[in-house]
Amino acid sequence: MIGDEWVTSYEILSLVLSTGFVILGTRMRRYSFALSGLAGLAAFLFLATNGHFKSYLSWPLALTISGGIAMAIGVVLVVVKARKDPHREI
């Protein structure tokens, strides 16, 4: 139980798959997988925050902002690496 709601199997599965896409995409140097995983993590973060913390404001706001910053840093790092090597696939 997180907040006021129970954690569903869909939430656990989406978190695991999104994280797996980020890890595999980074290790295999397939940044399109990593970016897809980051988008999945953003969707998970938004839906979980909205579903579990409806009656709170500070916790979802802090969680959303910190998650957004972390994902933005990841995207910037991928783009910077891709610009250094123009033959790299994004």
* Residue numbers of the domain that contains 31: 9-84
**Per-residue pLDDT for 90 more than 60?**
no
Per the domain annotation, does 67 fall within a domain?
yes
Per the domain annotation, does 3 fall within a domain?
no
Per the domain annotation, does 58 fall within a domain?
yes
17 — pLDDT class (breaks 50, 70, 90): very high
What are 38-80's pLDDT values in tens digits? 898 888 888 877 777 777 777 777 877 887 898 889 888 888 8
Per the domain annotation, does 1 fall within a domain?
no
Per the domain annotation, does 47 fall within a domain?
yes
Per the domain annotation, does 89 fall within a domain?
no
Q: Which amino acid is at 58?
A: S
CB 43 within 8 A of CB 50: no
Q: What percent of the chain has pLDDT above 70? A: 89
CA distances to 9, 86, 90 from 83, in Å: 39, 6, 10
Per the domain annotation, does 4 fall within a domain?
no
Distance CA 88, CA 47 (A): 33
Distance CA 2, CA 60 (A): 12
Prediction pTM value: 0.61
Per the domain annotation, does 34 fall within a domain?
yes
Number of folded domains that form the chain: 1
